[in-house]
């Protein structure tokens, strides 16, 4: 069941590894939840891709940067410049390594300031903790294993209120002022003194949806517990089995290792990315990962993955059918 009014949608802006090759852009993605978009990493050219793929920078109020390798943040200053030219006045939060503020501020010092509040929010890449929340979602850091201190990000919708069954309002003559309490789980005491249990008055709300971004990282045995059961997992797959040694040496993963993380965490769907420029084509990545975890897709620039809104009282639709 798809509900376009409340999208939960990942758009891949760039899936290249450190050296861009074959026309792919470096790491950047936009996660659209409801009417907001969250930018995750901002490799060079991210704003070009946003324009091409219809992601308006005006909808972005939070940016999450995983680590200070250039392929994950060199697009930031360009994006900030364009936001300034567009006359942005709303504040922008940038979550990332502490030194990112210094890097950006030294550029702005010489170029000129942006006309909107830039709020740097340093994150501790070694900790799994809540770093941001609003009415709809929570965002947690995911400690990764990499040559530069790196954190992935876990996005999780907050539980929704229960759904009122409209026919029960009429049947029990329920006053409107008590409906918020019933949606929050309260029973209802009718005028004749009888108690009507909440389960008879409401339906289960749709389940909260979740997405985890894990790049860049070596094979990380701690990750499955942190991303257990997420609907969608993006995990880097810089190499294939043939270069497993190189993966370990450089703080990266193979496609098989990404699939092992997905399998152990029992995620809904795995998306691969951050491919090394050494590979002439990416089919071996998919084949290798699917041997371990069949519900895997190759991430490609411009690909969109939607997580449908399911009700606990309907059978979840097949992720394969909804993801594309
Ligand atoms: Zn990278
Ligand atoms: Zn890196």
Enter the tokens of residue 108.
Answer: 């702005």
pLDDT at residue 276 greater than cutoff 70? yes
The pLDDT of 289-311, averaged and rounded, is 94
Provide the pLDDT for residue 311. 55
The pLDDT of 269-286, averaged and rounded, is 95
**250: CA distance to ligand 2 center in Å?**
9
**146: CA distance to ligand 2 center in Å?**
7
Task: Considering every ligand atom shown, identify the ligand nearest to the alpha carbon of residue 72 and give its number.
Answer: 1
**217: CA distance to ligand 1 center in Å?**
9
pLDDT at residue 323 greater than cutoff 70? no
* pLDDT tens track for 33-43: 998 999 999 99
Task: Considering every ligand atom shown, identify the ligand nearest to the alpha carbon of residue 43 and give its number.
Answer: 1
Give pairs for 17-20: CB < 8 Å, separation 24+: 17/71, 17/238, 17/252, 17/274, 17/275, 17/276, 17/277, 18/69, 18/70, 18/71, 18/277, 19/276, 19/277, 20/44, 20/71, 20/277
pLDDT at residue 84 greater than cutoff 80? yes
Model pTM score: 0.91
Task: Considering every ligand atom shown, identify the ligand nearest to the alpha carbon of residue 41 and give its number.
Answer: 1
**228: CA distance to ligand 1 center in Å?**
24
pLDDT at residue 268 greater than cutoff 80? yes
* pLDDT tens track for 21-73: 778 999 999 999 998 999 999 999 999 999 999 999 999 999 999 999 999 99
Return mean pLDDT, the chain. 93
- Mind telling me the catalytic residues? 71
Q: What is the 3-state secondary structure (H, E, C) of 221-232?
A: CCHHHHCCCCCE
* pLDDT tens track for 301-320: 999 999 998 854 433 333 34
Give pairs for 87-91: CB < 8 Å, separation 24+: 87/115, 88/57, 88/58, 88/114, 88/115, 88/116, 89/115, 89/116, 90/61, 90/116, 91/61, 91/116, 91/117, 91/118, 91/119
**2: CA distance to ligand 1 center in Å?**
33
Provide the pLDDT for residue 40. 98
């Amino acid at each position: 069941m798809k509900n376009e009014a409340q999208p939960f949608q990942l758009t891949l802006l760039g899936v290249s590894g450190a050296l861009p090759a074959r026309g792919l852009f470096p790491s950047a993605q936009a996660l659209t939840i409801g009417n907001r978009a969250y930018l995750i990493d901002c490799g060079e050219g991210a704003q070009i891709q946003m324009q091409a793929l219809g992601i308006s920078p005006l909808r972005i109020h939070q940016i999450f940067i995983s680590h200070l390798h250039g392929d994950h943040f060199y697009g930031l200053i360009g994006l900030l410049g364009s936001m300034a030219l567009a006359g942005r006045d709303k504040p922008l939060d940038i979550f990332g390594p502490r030194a990112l503020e210094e890097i950006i501020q030294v550029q702005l010092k010489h170029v000129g300031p942006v006309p909107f509040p830039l709020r740097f929010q340093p994150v501790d890449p070694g900790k799994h903790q809540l770093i941001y929340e609003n009415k709809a979602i929570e965002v947690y850091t995911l400690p990764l294993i990499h040559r530069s201190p790196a954190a992935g990000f876990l996005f999780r919708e907050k539980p929704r209120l229960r759904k009122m069954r409209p026919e029960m309002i009429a049947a029990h003559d329920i006053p409107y002022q008590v409906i918020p309490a019933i949606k929050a789980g309260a029973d209802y005491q009718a005028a004749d003194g009888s108690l009507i249990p909440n389960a008879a008055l409401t339906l289960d709300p749709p389940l909260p949806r979740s997405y985890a971004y894990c790049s860049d990282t070596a094979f990380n045995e701690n990750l499955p517990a942190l991303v257990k059961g997420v609907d969608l997992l993006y995990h880097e797959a810089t190499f294939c089995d043939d270069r497993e040694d190189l993966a370990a040496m450089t703080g990266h993963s193979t496609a098989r290792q990404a699939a092992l993380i997905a399998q152990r965490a029992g995620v809904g769907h795995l998306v691969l990315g951050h491919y090394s420029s050494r590979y002439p084509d990416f089919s071996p990545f998919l084949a290798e990962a699917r041997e371990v975890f069949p519900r895997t897709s190759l991430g490609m620039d411009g690909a969109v993955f939607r997580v449908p809104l399911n009700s606990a009282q309907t059978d979840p639709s097949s992720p394969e059918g909804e993801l594309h």
